[in-house]
């Protein structure tokens, strides 16, 4: 076996917040001005200027021929501001139809709405809000809206894993071997759910502080999955033989794992690696894993597929009718341009 190519890991030259504004931010104009469209949707969070969600949803609206009636933007909303925002958005004359949420809003929203799908209920995490009214969910009325909550992150991860080999397909290959999830946050919970849907029976959680994976170990037990936790420093060696590896860490937090793959000469020909970050693209983990023989999947694919499900829910169309290829083309154009700029 040839060892993986010892590609040097690039040194970080600027803080994450500056990278977000200079690398992708220059290609993304904020859409907080929200047009006169009758149906409004947006992604909420703080910070939020880096989000690619407006790009994806707007591409879908244009391909569906509803761009004049629907507008999707960004709104900077902190934890302390969410309740007030929702109180305004549910009013009878409101044009709000849907929201995409970032952490920690994905958890904070729960007392304000009702879980409407399996995984939002099970995980108590919702990244999608759909405003519903008894008379007409697509225009302002005399009825105060209720909040329907959904989790499309699980679907996004599941579809992204399969997307590495079969673009535009949304069914992940059956899991027949152990897998690894790197990280211990809420995205790790969604990754566990996605792999569980595909038949996962054995998983290793790698975290800087293994004791923080206790909730994941408990969740695994509830799902009938055998699980154990290891220190992040052991992740590189343990990736050997895994069917899927999903890194849920922030940008550059998995760089040490990439370095361990190089030092250990580890081969990954039978492994698919998904890194949920999409800036930088590819991440050091994906670049090195690819050199070691793995199929690699960038976080932009998870972003794409969770947005596909969101468009269907918010607009009220069948998911098979969502224009995936138009959304993918818009995403690739922007992310690809940012990648060329970095080189």
Kindly list the structural domains of the chain, giving each domain's residue range(s) and its CATH number in brackets, ordered by start.
24-151 (3.40.50.10860), 155-299 (3.40.50.720)
Supply the pLDDT for residue 174.
87
Q: Which among 94, 126, 98, 147 is positioned nearest to 311, based on CA atoms?
A: 98
18-48 pLDDT, tens per residue?
A: 333 333 443 343 344 444 679 999 999 999 9
Supply the pLDDT for residue 340.
52
Report the range of poorest mean pLDDT among 95-99, 160-164, 282-286, 331-335: 160-164
Report the range of poorest mean pLDDT among 101-105, 170-174, 230-234: 170-174
Among positive and negative, which fits the CA dihedral 153, 159, 162, 164?
negative
Mean pLDDT across the stretch 40-57? 95
155-168 pLDDT, tens per residue?
A: 999 999 987 444 45
If one compares 133 and 131, the residue with the highest pLDDT of the two is 131
Supply the pLDDT for residue 177.
96
Q: Is the pLDDT of residue 178 over 80?
A: yes
Supply the pLDDT for residue 286.
97
The mean pLDDT of the chain is 86
Mean pLDDT across the stretch 223-228? 98
Supply the pLDDT for residue 280.
83
Q: Is the pLDDT of residue 135 over 70?
A: no
pLDDT band, residue 152 (cuts 50/70/90): very high
Q: Is the pLDDT of residue 192 over 90?
A: yes
Supply the pLDDT for residue 304.
96
Q: Is the pLDDT of residue 11 over 70?
A: no
Report the range of poorest mean pLDDT among 95-109, 126-140, 231-245: 126-140
Mean pLDDT across the stretch 262-272? 96
59-101 pLDDT, tens per residue?
A: 999 999 999 999 999 999 999 999 999 999 999 889 999 999 9
If one compares 141 and 295, the residue with the highest pLDDT of the two is 295
Supply the pLDDT for residue 30.
36
Cα–Cα distance, 209 to 226 (Å, whole number): 20
């Amino acid at each position: 076996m040839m060892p993986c190519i010892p590609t040097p890991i690039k040194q970080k030259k600027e803080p994450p917040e500056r990278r977000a504004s200079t690398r992708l931010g220059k290609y993304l104009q904020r859409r907080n001005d929200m047009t006169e469209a009758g149906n409004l949707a947006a992604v909420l969070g703080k910070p939020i200027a880096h989000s690619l969600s407006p790009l994806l949803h707007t591409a879908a609206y244009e391909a569906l021929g509803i761009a004049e009636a629907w507008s999707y933007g960004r709104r900077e909303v902190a934890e302390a501001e969410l309740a007030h925002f929702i109180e305004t958005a549910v009013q009878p004359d409101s044009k709000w139809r849907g929201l995409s949420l970032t952490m920690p809003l994905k958890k904070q929203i729960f007392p304000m709405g009702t879980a409407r799908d399996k995984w939002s209920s099970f995980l108590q995490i919702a990244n999608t809000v759909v405003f519903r009214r008894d008379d007409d969910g697509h225009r302002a009325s005399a009825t105060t809206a209720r909040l329907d909550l959904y989790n499309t992150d699980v679907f996004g991860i599941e579809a992204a894993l399969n997307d590495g080999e079969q673009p535009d397909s949304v069914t992940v290959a059956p899991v027949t071997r152990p897998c690894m999830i790197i990280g211990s946050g809420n995205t790790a919970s969604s990754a566990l759910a996605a792999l569980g849907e595909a038949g996962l029976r054995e998983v290793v959680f790698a975290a800087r502080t293994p004791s923080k994976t206790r909730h994941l170990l408990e969740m695994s037990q509830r799902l009938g999955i055998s699980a154990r936790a290891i220190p992040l420093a052991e992740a590189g060696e343990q990736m050997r033989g895994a069917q899927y590896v999903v890194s849920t860490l922030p940008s550059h937090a998995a760089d040490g794992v990439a370095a361990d793959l190089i030092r250990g000469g580890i081969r990954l020909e039978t492994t698919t690696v998904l890194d949920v970050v999409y800036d930088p693209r590819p991440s050091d983990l994906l670049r090195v894993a690819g050199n070691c023989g793995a199929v690699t999947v960038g976080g932009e694919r998870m972003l794409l597929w969770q947005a596909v499900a969101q468009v269907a829910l918010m607009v009220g169309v069948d998911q098979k009718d969502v224009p995936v290829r138009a959304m993918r083309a818009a995403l690739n154009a922007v992310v690809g341009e940012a990648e060329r700029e970095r080189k």
